[in-house]
């Protein structure tokens, strides 16, 4: 056949024809790439090709095919990008139809559970400040308030009354907060003031909605568990296998069996304990700044040692911490009242996570 064509049209003209066809192909390829790159990646603000979201489109029989990595892009945005890509590529000569295949690398998300034996020991306060401090260290951190008995994180994070929307896949979209830490709370799922008295499966399902939400790029979730060892805690440890657990206790609580029960729950489920935090350890006088220790000093550290877990640090009982928390300004964000203690503990947690 080549000989026949060659003899009919002359060898040089065939080579020229092939070369010009190949040239047309590569021009077309460049046009396709440029068209695809004219669509902006919402994350980096660059073109989709430059941002590494997609390779050059393939064109076969008039159909341009694009394989797009949509990791971290919210579902609504994906639909808009799909429309933009189709519009841009259809404008290229020779393209009759466009197919966009979206792929997503599942972000490996790790959970840090914050637990305590009983309520009122400052578990939520610690969870909020740890999440804020981790985010300030550059970690993509989200916060879940799973405390069905007293969801207090919306207030602590200045997000009271804000309801999460659902995305096209019916997943909850966490509420953005002023502190760079998106938040979902059991308290956002029910009417304000409505008593939350969920039991068993209901609480477990609600927990699932919070964990399997549209967290996007978030890779570390700090979860404020209810106090004690009930259904939500069991669902958490069994179904969502936290990477680690931080236990909060007050000095007077340590002698009690509660904190040990919480520790046992995690140990039995093979959830590693990051360590113990002693909250309300010593009272810092707002007048003179001196710290007094009504319950003695060093008790928590000794108890941690006895329990065979690490001691992560102590946070003083300080009126300014309570006031800032009520105002929705976590000390770890403002750098005031107790910030140093929270930051030091967050540093240990970060080291533990990156170990
Ligand atoms: P829990 O989550 O264990 O029930 P919270 O974090 O809601 O406890 O704290 C209970 C109360 O104690 C809140 O009013 C909070 O502001 C206050 N609180 C917590 N830690 C401290 C602290 N170190 N100094 C002063 N007040 C604190």
Higher pLDDT, 352 or 235: 352
Rounded mean pLDDT, 106-128: 90
**Residue 33 in contact with ligand 1 by CB distance below 6 A:** no
Q: Are residues 136 and 213 in the same domain?
A: yes
pLDDT of residue 288: 85
Contact 57, 36 (CB under 8 A): yes
Say yes or no: CB of residue 116 within 6 Å of ligand 1. yes
287 belongs to a structural domain: yes
pLDDT for 278 equals 93
Helix (H) or strand (E) holding 67: strand 63-69
How far apart are the CA of 344 and the centre of ligand 1, in A?
18
Question: How does pLDDT run across 246-267, given as a tens digit for each residue?
Answer: 999 988 766 556 778 889 999 9
Domain range enclosing 248 = 110-353
Last residue of a domain, one of 87, 103, 119: 103
pLDDT digits (tens, 9 = 90+) for 64-89: 999 999 887 877 788 999 999 999 99
Give residue 230's pLDDT band: very low, low, confident or very high (50, 70, 90).
confident
pLDDT tens per residue across span 182-220? 999 988 887 666 656 666 677 778 888 899 999 998 999
Q: Looking at the structure, do residues 186 and 302 belong to the same domain, yes or no?
A: yes
pLDDT at 252: 78
Q: 6: CA distance to ligand 1 center in Å? A: 89
What is the number of domains present in the chain?
2
Distance between CA atoms of 252 and 338, rounded to whole angstroms? 20
pTM summary value: 0.74
Q: Determine, yes or no, domain membership for 119.
A: yes
| Low-confidence winner among 21-25, 44-48, 90-94, 219-223 (lowest mean pLDDT) | 21-25
- The best mutation among 118, 122, 279, 336 to test binding of ligand 1, ranked by most ligand atoms within 8 Å of the C-beta, falls on 122
229 close to ligand 1 (CB < 6 Angstrom)? no
Q: Is the CB of 279 under 6 A from ligand 1?
A: yes
The closest residue, in CA terms, to atom 19 on ligand 1 is 122
Q: Is residue 135 part of a domain?
A: yes
Q: Per-residue pLDDT tens for 258-316?
A: 778 889 999 999 999 999 999 998 888 888 878 888 777 778 888 889 888 999 999 99
Q: Quick count: other Cβ atoms within 10 Å of Cβ 329?
A: 19
93 part of a folded domain:
yes
pLDDT band at 5 (very low <50, low <70, confident <90, very high): very low
Asked whether residue 1 is assigned to any structural domain, the reply reads: no
Residue 197 counted as domain residue: yes
The answer to whether residues 132 and 74 belong to one domain is no
Residue-wise pLDDT tens digits, 141-198? 999 999 877 789 999 999 998 999 998 888 999 999 999 999 999 888 876 666 566 6
Q: Closest ligand 1 atom to the C-alpha of 119? A: 4
CA of 263 to the centre of ligand 1 (A): 20
Nearest one of 310, 313, 317, 318 to 345, comparing CA atoms: 313
Same domain, 174 and 323: yes
pLDDT for 53 equals 93
Same domain, 317 and 200: yes
> Do the domain assignments include residue 48?
yes
Same domain, 264 and 139: yes
Rounded CA gap, 277 and 248, in Å?
5
Question: Using alpha carbons only, how large is the chain's radius of gyration in Å?
Answer: 28
The pLDDT of residue 125 is 97
Ligand 1 within 6 A of 281 CB? no
The rounded distance, in Å, linking the Cα atoms of 261 and 146 is 19
Which atom of ligand 1 is least distant from the CA of 224?
2
Q: Kindly report the protein residue whose alpha carbon is nearest to atom 20 of ligand 1.
A: 122
CA dist., res. 138 & res. 315, Å (int): 23
Which of 103, 132, 161 terminates a domain? The answer is 103
d(CA 355, CA 349): 10
CATH number at residue 199: 3.40.50.300
- Same domain as 79, residue 13: yes
Q: Based on the domain organization, do 290 and 206 belong to the same domain? A: yes
Taking the centre of ligand 1 as the mean of its atom positions, its distance from the CA of residue 73, in whole angstroms, is: 36
Q: Is the CB of 143 under 6 A from ligand 1?
A: no
> What is the distance between the alpha carbons of residues 254 and 276, in angstroms, rounded to a whole number?
10
Judge if the beta carbon of residue 121 lies within 6 A of ligand 1. Answer: yes
CA of 124 to the centre of ligand 1 (A): 7
One-character DSSP codes across 303-319: HHHHHT--EEEEEEE-H
Instruction: Among 80, 103, 126, give the residue marking a domain's end.
Output: 103
Distance 146 CA to ligand 1 centre (A): 16
Residue 118 alpha carbon, nearest atom of ligand 1: 3
Which strands, in side-by-side order, build the sheet including 97-103?
58-60, 63-69, 97-103
Which residue has a Cα nearest atom 17 of ligand 1?
322
Q: Are residues 60 and 188 located together in one domain of the fold?
A: no
| Domain shared by 114 and 41, yes or no | no
- The answer to whether the CB of 122 is under 6 A from ligand 1 is yes
> Per residue in 337-348, pLDDT tens?
889 999 999 999
Question: Is residue 179 assigned to a domain?
Answer: yes
Ligand 1: does its nearest atom lie under 6 Å from the Cβ of 151?
no
Model pLDDT, residue 2: 46
Residue 58 has pLDDT above 70, yes or no: yes
Give 43 Cα–ligand 1 centroid separation in angstroms: 37
CATH of the domain at 36: 3.30.300.130
Q: What is the C-alpha to C-alpha distance for residues 147 and 145, in angstroms, rounded to an integer?
A: 6
Residues 141, 20 within the same domain: no
Q: Same structural domain for residues 10 and 141?
A: no
| Close Cβ partners of 176 (under 8 Å, ≥ 6 residues apart) | 182
């Amino acid at each position: 056949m080549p000989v026949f064509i060659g003899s009919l049209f002359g060898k040089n003209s065939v080579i020229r024809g092939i070369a010009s066809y190949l040239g047309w192909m590569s021009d077309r390829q460049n046009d396709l790439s440029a068209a695809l790159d004219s669509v902006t990646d919402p994350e980096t603000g660059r073109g989709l090709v430059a941002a590494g979201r997609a390779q050059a489109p393939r064109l076969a029989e008039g159909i341009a095919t694009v394989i797009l990595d949509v990791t971290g892009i919210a579902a609504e945005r994906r639909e808009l990008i799909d429309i933009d890509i189709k519009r841009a590529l259809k404008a290229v000569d020779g393209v009759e139809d466009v197919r966009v295949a979206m792929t997503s690398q599942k972000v490996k998300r790790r959970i840090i559970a914050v637990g305590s034996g009983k309520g009122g020991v400052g578990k939520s306060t610690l969870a909020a400040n740890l999440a804020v401090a981790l985010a300030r260290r550059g970690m993509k951190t989200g916060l879940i308030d799973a405390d069905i008995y007293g969801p207090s994180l919306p207030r602590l994070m200045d997000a009271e009354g804000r309801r999460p929307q659902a995305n096209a896949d019916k997943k909850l979209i966490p509420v953005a907060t002023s502190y760079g830490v998106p938040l979902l709370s059991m308290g956002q799922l029910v009417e304000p003031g409505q008593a939350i008295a969920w039991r068993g499966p209901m609480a477990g399902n609600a927990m699932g909605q919070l964990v399997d939400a549209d967290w996007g790029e978030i890779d570390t979730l700090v979860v404020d568990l209810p106090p004690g060892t009930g259904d939500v805690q069991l669902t958490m440890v069994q179904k969502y296998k936290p990477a680690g657990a931080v236990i909060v206790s007050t000095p007077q609580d340590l002698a009690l069996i509660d904190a040990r029960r919480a520790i046992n729950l995690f140990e039995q489920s093979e959830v590693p304990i990051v360590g113990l935090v002693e909250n309300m350890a010593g009272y810092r006088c707002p007048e003179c700044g001196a710290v007094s220790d009504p319950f003695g000093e060093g008790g928590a550290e000794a108890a941690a040692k006895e329990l065979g877990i690490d001691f992560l640090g102590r946070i003083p009982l300080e009126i300014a911490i309570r006031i800032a928390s009520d105002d929705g300004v976590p000390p770890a964000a403002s750098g005031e009242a107790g910030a140093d203690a929270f930051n030091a503990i967050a540093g240990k947690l970060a080291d533990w996570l990156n170990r």
